[in-house]
Amino acid sequence: MRPYLTAEEDALLELVLKLIEDFEEKHYQLNSSTPHSRLFHFMEVRSLEQGDLVEILGSSEIITKFINGELKLTKEQAKD
């Protein structure tokens, strides 16, 4: 294999990389999750119910407010 690319090969490589980036941005939005969605994913993966989070988040009222979008998690709660 050659240790260098021709100008045409370099331009083609740049184009392919740009197309891949555009495709991934459109179809795989990695940064689109929220603390709210991550908590639901965590609960689903671990088969947890709302009541299982009382010890971590403090009370069933807090959990209900968070699930309804009325309250945000604190950094301390997220670390637990």
Per-residue model confidence as pLDDT tens digits over 18-62: 999 999 888 876 666 777 788 888 888 988 888 888 887 778 888
pLDDT of residue 12: 95
pLDDT of residue 30: 65
Helices H / strands E in the chain, number of each:
5, 0
Q: Whole-angstrom Cα distance, residue 80 to residue 67?
A: 17
- Indicate the domain borders of the chain: 32-79
pLDDT of residue 34: 77
pLDDT of residue 65: 85
pLDDT of residue 18: 94
